[in-house]
């Protein structure tokens, strides 16, 4: 069997050119160059059509190699573009790979993406037609609640407090499940920011000592309080905030804000806390050794209202960690994410955080503990 002849584009053009000469005979020219008359006629029609590639034949080996290299380059460019767009999913599960293919199928061919991610195209098409499982549907329902709570909190709830809020709503999802759903959907809390500062301390009065001893637990309300002062930057200057926190409920029972940091700032905050008391049972109020807390007027006010003054030692910032912890949370979740143009703007926002976000959340936590205690102490239906 004879090998089939291959003709280059140049040969075909020259052969067709001979047929255009005066008195040329197509049949004779075909016999002379060793091709069929029908082949030569087809070459004439293709060249007369004016196409860019008049002769779609295989061409010479060099042309074939160039075309193959161009096709390979185009394929590699597509694969590199897909890898740059799909993200780091090569080591992920097959479900995440299928989700990536579903997201990019309008830009890249499905077979190319399946080849790059080493999955089968038939498996991908079967996954597209497969209905959601009961677990996936429940995750979608739970995710709606998580997104709503995260939006209401202005994006400050992380996994622990998100799990706590969901439990208040009657959800039984585990912390790991909540963390997985939040991470996969880009929902995070506000990370803590470390900041160290030094401030001038006063001389602790001789009759005052550290009654708290870093024991921040309280079994009853209005037995242990902590207080401290922090500052907030505004366009009109510094706004100073003094708070009184009850260690039993962790709610802010007294607060005061002013543009001046003096003893009247702390006196107003402690007076507000005193208004929340129902009796005159002595309560321990712990603070640092700031000059506002060591002043004589402040100490006399505490003695008149049956409040036992407690103060930290010099250099022991952990002695008042509960108050410092609240300020860190306030700044991390609200103040550092705002820019206050005036003192009034800062006062309004701090009031909103304390009275509409922090205290209600702490009260829900306390109510949950009360319900659990009542459930444990109720008489049994069997034993009475």
293 with 356, same domain: the answer is yes
pLDDT at residue number 213: 80
pLDDT at residue number 257: 93
Alpha helical stretches, state H, 91-197: 94-104, 110-117, 121-129, 134-152, 159-168, 175-184
| Nearest-10 crossing angle of helices 263-275, 296-304 | 10
96 with 150, same domain: the answer is no
Question: For residue 320, what are its two tokens?
Answer: 């008042």
271 with 366, same domain: the answer is yes
The Cα–Cα gap between 233 and 218 comes to: 33
Residue 339's φ and ψ, nearest 5 degrees, are: -130, 110
Q: Name the stretches of the chain with pLDDT < 70.
A: 1-4, 50-63, 192-207, 314-317, 376-384
237 with 266, same domain: the answer is yes
143 with 122, same domain: the answer is no
362 with 276, same domain: the answer is yes
- Let me know if residue 51 belongs to a domain: no
Element housing 371 (H / E) = helix 359-377
118 with 150, same domain: the answer is no
The Cα–Cα gap between 165 and 162 comes to: 5
For residue 234, list its beta bridge partners.
237
125 with 140, same domain: the answer is no
228 with 242, same domain: the answer is yes
The Cα–Cα gap between 85 and 92 comes to: 15
Q: Which long-range contacts (CB under 8 A, 24 or more apart) does 332-336 make?
A: 332/156, 332/190, 332/191, 332/192, 332/193, 333/153, 333/154, 333/156, 333/190, 334/154, 334/156, 335/232, 336/190, 336/193
Count of Cβ atoms closer than 10 Å to residue 76 Cβ: 10
Does residue 357 contact residue 332 with C-beta atoms inside 8 Å? no
Name the pTM for this structure.
0.56
Query: How far from chain centre, in Å, is Cα 359?
Result: 25
- Let me know if residue 17 belongs to a domain: no
pLDDT at residue number 270: 92
Question: For the domain that residue 299 is a member of, what is the CATH number?
Answer: 3.30.420.10
pLDDT at residue number 55: 59
The Cα–Cα gap between 325 and 362 comes to: 14
pLDDT at residue number 272: 92
Q: Domain total for the chain?
A: 3
- Let me know if residue 211 belongs to a domain: no
Residue range of the domain that includes 155: 134-184
Burial 8-41 (b: 16+ CB within 10 A, else e): ebebbeebbebbeeeeeeeeebbeeeebeeeebe
86 with 176, same domain: the answer is no
């Amino acid at each position: 069997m004879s090998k089939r002849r291959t003709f280059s584009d140049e040969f075909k053009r020259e052969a067709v050119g001979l047929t255009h000469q005066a008195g040329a005979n197509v049949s004779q020219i075909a016999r002379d160059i060793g091709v069929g008359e029908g082949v030569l006629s087809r070459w004439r029609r293709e060249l007369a059509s004016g196409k860019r590639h008049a002769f779609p034949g295989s061409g010479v080996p060099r042309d074939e190699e160039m075309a193959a290299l161009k096709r390979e380059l185009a394929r590699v460019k597509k694969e590199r573009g897909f890898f740059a767009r799909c993200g780091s999913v090569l080591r992920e599960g097959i479900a995440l790979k299928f989700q990536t293919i579903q997201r990019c199928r309008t830009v890249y061919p499905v077979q190319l993406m399946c080849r790059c991610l080493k999955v089968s195209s038939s498996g991908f098409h079967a996954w597209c037609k497969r209905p959601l499982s009961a677990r996936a549907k429940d995750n979608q329902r739970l995710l709606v609640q998580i997104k709503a709570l995260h939006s209401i909190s202005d994006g400050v709830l992380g996994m622990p407090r998100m799990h706590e809020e969901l439990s208040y709503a009657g959800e039984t999802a585990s912390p790991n499940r909540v963390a997985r759903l939040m991470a996969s959907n880009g929902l995070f809390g506000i990370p803590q920011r470390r900041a160290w500062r030094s401030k001038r301390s006063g001389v602790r009065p001789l009759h005052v000592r550290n009654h708290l001893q870093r024991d921040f637990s309280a079994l009853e309300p209005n037995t242990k309080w902590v207080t401290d002062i922090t500052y907030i930057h505004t366009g009109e200057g510094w706004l100073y905030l003094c708070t009184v926190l009850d260690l039993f409920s962790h709610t802010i029972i007294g607060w005061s804000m002013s543009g001046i940091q003096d003893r009247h700032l702390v006196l107003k905050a402690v007076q507000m806390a005193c208004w929340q008391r129902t009796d005159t049972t002595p309560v321990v109020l712990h603070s640092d050794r700031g000059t506002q807390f060591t002043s004589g007027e402040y100490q006399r006010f505490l003695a008149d209202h049956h409040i036992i003054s407690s103060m930290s030692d010099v250099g022991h910032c952990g002695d008042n960690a509960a108050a410092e912890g609240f300020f860190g949370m306030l700044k991390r979740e609200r103040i550092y994410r705002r820019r206050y143009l005036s003192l009034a703007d800062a006062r309004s926002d701090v009031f909103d955080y304390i009275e509409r976000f922090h205290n209600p959340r702490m009260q829900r936590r306390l109510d949950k503990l009360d319900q659990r205690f009542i459930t444990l102490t109720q008489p049994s239906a069997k034993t009475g």
